[in-house]
Chains A and B, each alone.
Chain A
């Protein structure tokens, strides 16, 4: 029940503890050697250390490296927005809403449908910004509804049951939404309409694609709005109170049920926004779109310290950068071939590594009262 921290002082160290220590050291060594090999490579690809680690080392140019970091940051912003939903729900109810990734997928799907309809009507090209705001609003509304219905149907009846029960239910919800998307919209990948040139192309002055800038700006603005909502409004105060201790909050006259619905609604809206950002970045959506970003966003929430809003965003950024830079920074110099295929594996490895090294995340977790033992 107490995370996986080191064995408490005084307790005998078992084989498992030694194994875990070994794993921790191994992970850190691997990362360190990889980075050293990368640095060696960057200094000179014919460097004996670089050659020893990877005979066909090529190294990265500065522009490539910057491109990787920027794409990592843009994706990280998206993960951060999804992670907010995981983090807030975990903070209030103490369970992982596994289906949150599917809410994000629903957002991306809604955006795809709406934007294609707008493109048919000719509005997408003539008024891109206006259409974008429109699809963001539609997608946020739809996702809020999905999240709220999900809470009402699947999670509310299970409040107070053993903690794995809602988790299993949420897996069922996720499976159901994914397959509902297949049977309604078909199993093929679906494309967003073409975006204007200024979004697609690299900006001449700063050499960054417009879509990435757009994503970062939108994420930053919505993060600010959310921070204001949670820290400075009455509803946000209620959320924090329920997260702190639901029973006491109820005694103070807070409607706990309504607050929990609000938490789901806010999380759903953020996931809807992230879905549109996905659409702008990748311009294609399929029923499995929600699965991997969902898991990565959960990892982000853990990395940042679950229950922590700023932490979720920071975690999202670190996961995004890690998965885009990590394979080339650590695996490639070590002589692993075909590293880009392993980026998802790297994202999972980051999650496992964080839980091994620092289970409470960077900023420490904020858990509901019952889990704080």
Chain B
């Protein structure tokens, strides 16, 4: 590896970089920072090991004989610590040190400290009874840590593994941006292929391409190591050859104007729609079930996106609308509903459901609309709980069945053509898809309407919006109602799909999962919200629905929580940010940057004290 690389200009905006200073000697580390990061890593390692994640996930093989998901969870922390420890804070006008042996040595040392956590754990497991309070780790953990050998082996091997992986993490800094991108693409390709395995196998069966998947995947799951190498090589070559192509294409589309742009967008949407319509035909029951679940959450997330993303109202009780939608659809269609059972056809019932949920939206919205944003969040959370408690209570069990819920809900009949029920997930998916299309169209048109602009104005500054003549109360109420109606669609489909509704399906954690989905994808951006639900619900799974990584079901809520914290700290605007929203979030930094660029010469103090530490969106 070459010690110094020419400063390559990476993405846009890096045009005027100061010259690189010489790389530092390998042992001139910031030892305190290194040990601190290593210790944090060690704690994280012990936490992961004791949560039983490695053992539970060990069954899921990624690359056939070499790597299982369980071991991956143990390797990721030293890798991240090793990579992170070499991070230099970019200071405007200050020279950056070139990456060199310093980064690798630091990474190795930091990784070793982090891996040391597992060494310590191995010793503790062998000598003390940790079972008393910590019940969740399985007896196989010690064996897994020692690779079947003695404890002494585990102590040494995890120090070594930690150092090696940490060195790799630090070494990543030596690569130029182009090579680094290729490496990341390779890792993503292999990881993605492993995660998508059930989906790919299922689709391949439908398309009679079993020969291909048999070659790619080992018989009991996991990618064959030969195919993994091939996949990595292929994607690496593609990444090197295709570098910049995607960006060029995006820039090209962004440049288009008027009719041309409309046409390109239309083509893209058509292509996506075609794939989504054709795909389920080849897919089996499991894949369709997964797609239907993702679709339901897309619908919910789009609804919450109107409230949180566009109008900036943090509604933590969004599940209330989902619950009201489900329950009112159940009451209106099921013959078994205790008090009123008009047994309406589903589509007719849907109209009533929309009206009811809209009214509930008004009723919940009206009292909270004048409150401060944070009080509003807690009060909506309270409403969400109250609605669930009412459905659960004996008082109203004559209407809603109490904890027994309402069962034997008929499927959704569409003009007598088909009957959509949970037994046929493909039809459910098509129904969900239709409503998603509707919801996407509605939110897309709304965002560009007078109302949408009013929402964004209210989000950014309520006082100014009011001064501009916007009736903030009505506008915010409308956001509540629109969000409620979109949520009710999802609820109505949910009750027809599952065939029964119980108060337990509408816990507050559903609201929080939807919130994580919206924030992860990018508040206020339709594409972002859809991508967020597809990635999170598809891979990790919803509150009760399994995702592609079904082994994760015990840990997914933990991961949702961690993800929410991390997103807020590192990238509050989400994966695919809405331009306006991210400008709003990084206002302060951008102002600071502009100020710094204006007077770089006579300023050399920059501690980045306040404001999130995220990079301004480019």
> Which A residues fall within an 8 A CB radius of B?
1, 3-5, 14, 16, 19-20, 23, 95-96, 98, 113, 116-117, 153-154, 157-169, 171-180, 182-186, 291, 295, 298, 302, 336-339, 341-342, 344-345, 348-349, 351-352, 355-356, 359, 371
Contacts and interface: CB of A to CB of B under 8 A. Distances in A.
A157 B612 contact: yes
A175 to B, nearest CB: 3
B544 interface: no
A3 B558 contact: no
B136 A23 contact: no
B135 interface: yes
B389 A157 contact: no
Interface in B331-383: 366-367, 369-375, 377-379, 381-383
Contacts of A166: 568
B379 A355 contact: yes
Contact of B568 (A168, A177, A356): A168
B615 to A, nearest CB: 14
Interface range on chain B: under 10, 10 to 19, 20 to 34, or 35 or more? 35 or more
Given A157-B613, A341-B393, A342-B393, A302 B375 contact: yes
Interface of B: 47, 50-53, 132-136, 312, 314, 316, 366-367, 369-375, 377-379, 381-383, 385-386, 389-390, 392-395, 397, 462-463, 471, 473-474, 477, 508-509, 512, 515-516, 519, 554-555, 557-558, 560-565, 568-569, 572, 584-585, 588, 610-613
A93 to B, nearest CB: 11
B371 A355 contact: yes
Contacts of B613: 157
Contacts of B366: 16, 19-20, 23
A117 B129 CA distance: 12
B561 A173 contact: yes
Closest 10 CB pairs of A and B: A172-B564, A338-B394, A176-B561, A175-B561, A160-B610, A348-B382, A4-B370, A183-B51, A179-B558, A172-B565
A184 B51 contact: yes
Given A3-B372, A172-B562, A178-B561, 4 more contacts: A4-B370, A19-B366, A348-B386, A349-B382
B371 A4 contact: yes
B495 to A, nearest CB: 23
A359 B371 contact: yes
A291 B384 CA distance: 14
B284 to A, nearest CB: 31
Contact of A295 (B50, B382, B560, B568): B382
B366 to A, nearest CB: 5
Nearest to A109: B133
A169 B564 contact: yes
Contacts of B377: 96, 164, 167
Contact of A3 (B134, B370, B471): B370
A183 B568 contact: no
A16 B369 contact: yes
A336 B51 contact: no
B565 A173 contact: yes
A175 B564 contact: yes
Given A16-B369, A168-B519, A295 B378 contact: yes
6 contacts: A157-B612, A161-B611, A164-B312, A291-B508, A298-B378, A342-B389
B386 A349 contact: yes
Given A158-B569, A186-B136, A336-B395, A179 B373 contact: no
Contacts of B474: 14, 16
A117 B613 CA distance: 43
A163 B386 CA distance: 26
- The winner among A163, A165, A173, A348 for most chain B CB atoms within 10 A is A348
B394 A341 contact: yes
B367 A23 contact: yes
A159 B367 contact: no
B385 A345 contact: yes
- The winner among B373, B374, B462 for most chain A CB atoms within 10 A is B374
B314 A168 contact: yes
